[in-house]
């Protein structure tokens, strides 16, 4: 096969980029290790910043999101027995976020790819990248016994943290930065009415909790748990009891519980790799960086990578200018480091750290006091939460 851009990974990053490129006359092939059903069974966060929603509309994939998604103008932080609201719209001069599940969004992207006849090769095994520092790189993969080859101008590594792309950068070139947090999030999805129309992030002495939602009939809740816990240890009843303990009494009293339809534990981690470009390989999304979910930056950071890549590749094919691709790593990293900072900050603000000294715990409470006593501090939170410009 021959294409202009070979995209490894058919998650949101790879699909969105291939859709944007094809609509602008650039030919792509997407290679995905899993089946489509498998990709669509993953449940992940669902808060989209405005830049991301713009990009989805530009890709011709925003219609269902605009119909079924919820525009949120603020969220709450519960702490020391009270609830304070971050008024995103007032603090950012009119901006908001869109609550729309990543699973639904990925489904919309697949359907859009189908409509345009986009080429997505599923169950592509043993993907390997070759000759990345030449002007004629290629990618090989296996389907059954057959080995196939895709010749291209550029390879985009959008294959997530466990993918092959980042690992194809020589170790003497790749710099990795990581922080592992000493806890995870136990998440439950339930077909119940959300306890609050806006998200509630809770800082509690028993640990962090989050009340989120997918729609007015589908709720998503989380509690901070030690990494040694397993899902089997947590019955639905135990989960609901713990969640209620960490919420203000009047919220807990209104919580509607029900059977979980999904329950999982995710460890929290910050990770970023540099550079994001090596020869003709360009990394995008989770393949290059991971953030803890606290600030809802994961998918949104993938979105800014896709934006820079899309602009750089279109310039390359339309104007013959490689300038955008040359500066891709630098531009994408500058924004991604800010997402790292914000996610780390929000995680530090809201969780219980088992090794924190009483001094550090006092500072955390002071940080919350300061936040809700200072419009400037709230503005700093809000401008990051709705997404820094790109
Ligand atoms: N070959 C082909 N495909 C692969 C390979 C490989 N060796 N390794 C992984 N993949 C596929 C995975 O099966 C997955 O479908 O790459 C895809 C990567 O998708 P994601 O992990 O979802 O990463 P990305 O598309 O960058 O999405 C951004 O934002 O909110 C965060 O983590 C969240 O998934 C989300 C991410
Ligand atoms: C979610 O709905 O899953 C969610 C929302 C906001 C976050 C993290 C996760 O910060």
The preferred substitution site among 6, 9, 14 for testing ligand 1, maximizing ligand atoms within 8 Å of CB, is: 9
Atom 1 of ligand 2, residue of closest alpha carbon? 45
Atom of ligand 2 nearest to the CA of 101: 2
pTM beyond 0.85, yes or no: yes
**Domains along the chain?**
5-72+96-178+269-347 (3.50.50.60), 181-268+354-386 (3.30.9.10)
Task: Say which residues have a Cβ less than 8 Å from residue 107's Cβ, sequence separation at least 6.
Answer: 40
**Which positions of the chain have pLDDT values less than 50?**
none
Task: Write down the H helix ranges in 143-205.
Answer: none
Atom 9 of ligand 2, residue of closest alpha carbon? 45
Spatial separation of the C-alpha atoms in residues 165 and 220, rounded to whole Å: 32
Task: Write down the H helix ranges in the chain.
Answer: 12-23, 36-40, 50-58, 63-68, 88-91, 102-115, 236-245, 249-254, 298-319, 323-326, 328-350, 358-373, 375-385
Instruction: Provide the pLDDT for residue 46.
Output: 87
* Residue 283 CA to ligand 2 centre (angstroms): 24
209 lines ligand 1 (CB under 6 A): no
* Residue 92 CA to ligand 1 centre (angstroms): 31
The preferred substitution site among 35, 44, 160 for testing ligand 1, maximizing ligand atoms within 8 Å of CB, is: 160
Starting from the CA of residue 100, give the closest ligand: 2
Starting from the CA of residue 201, give the closest ligand: 2
Length of the chain: 390
The preferred substitution site among 42, 43, 44, 47 for testing ligand 2, maximizing ligand atoms within 8 Å of CB, is: 47
Atom 15 of ligand 1, residue of closest alpha carbon? 11
| Main-chain phi, psi angles of 280, to 5 degrees | -95, 10
* Residue 47 CA to ligand 2 centre (angstroms): 6
Instruction: Provide the pLDDT for residue 146.
Output: 96
Instruction: Provide the pLDDT for residue 43.
Output: 80
Measure Cα distances from 348 to 77, 93, 244 in Å.
14, 27, 22
């Amino acid at each position: 096969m021959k294409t202009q851009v070979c995209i490894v990974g058919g998650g949101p990053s790879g699909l969105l980029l291939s859709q944007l490129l094809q609509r602008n006359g650039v030919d792509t092939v997407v290679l995905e290790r899993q089946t489509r059903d498998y990709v669509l069974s993953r449940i992940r966060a669902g808060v989209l910043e405005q830049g991301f929603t713009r990009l989805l509309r530009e890709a011709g994939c925003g219609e269902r999101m605009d119909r079924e998604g919820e525009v949120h103008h603020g969220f709450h932080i519960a702490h020391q027995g009270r609830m304070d609201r971050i008024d995103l719209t007032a603090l950012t001069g009119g901006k908001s976020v869109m609550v729309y599940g990543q699973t639904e969004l990925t489904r919309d992207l697949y359907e859009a790819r189908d409509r345009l006849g986009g080429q997505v090769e599923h169950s592509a095994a043993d993907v390997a990248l070759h000759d990345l520092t030449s002007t004629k790189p290629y990618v090989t993969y296996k389907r059954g016994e057959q080995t196939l080859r895709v010749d291209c101008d550029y390879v985009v590594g959008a294959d997530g943290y466990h993918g092959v792309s980042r690992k194809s950068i020589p170790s003497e070139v790749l710099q990795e930065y990581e922080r592992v947090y000493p806890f995870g999030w136990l998440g439950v999805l339930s077909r119940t009415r959300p306890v609050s129309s806006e998200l509630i992030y809770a800082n509690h002495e028993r640990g962090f909790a989050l009340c989120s939602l997918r729609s007015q009939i589908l709720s998503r809740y989380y509690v901070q748990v030690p990494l040694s816990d397993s899902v089997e240890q947590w019955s639905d009843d135990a989960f609901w009891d713990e969640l209620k303990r960490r919420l203000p009494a009047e919220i807990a009293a209104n919580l509607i519980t029900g059977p979980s339809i999904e329950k999982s534990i995710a460890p929290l981690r910050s990770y970023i790799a540099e550079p994001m470009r090596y020869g003709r390989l360009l990394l995008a999304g989770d393949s290059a960086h991971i953030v803890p979910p606290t600030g809802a930056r994961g998918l949104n950071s993938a979105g800014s990578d896709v934006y820079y890549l899309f602009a750089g590749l279109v310039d390359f094919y339309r104007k013959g200018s490689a300038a955008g691709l040359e500066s891709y790593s630098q531009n994408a990293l500058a924004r991604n480091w800010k997402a790292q900072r914000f996610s780390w900050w929000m995680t530090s603000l809201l969780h219980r750290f088992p090794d924190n000294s009483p001094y550090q715990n006092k500072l955390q409470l002071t940080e919350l006091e300061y936040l809700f006593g200072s419009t400037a501090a709230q503005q700093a939170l809000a401008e990051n939460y709705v997404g820094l410009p790109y």
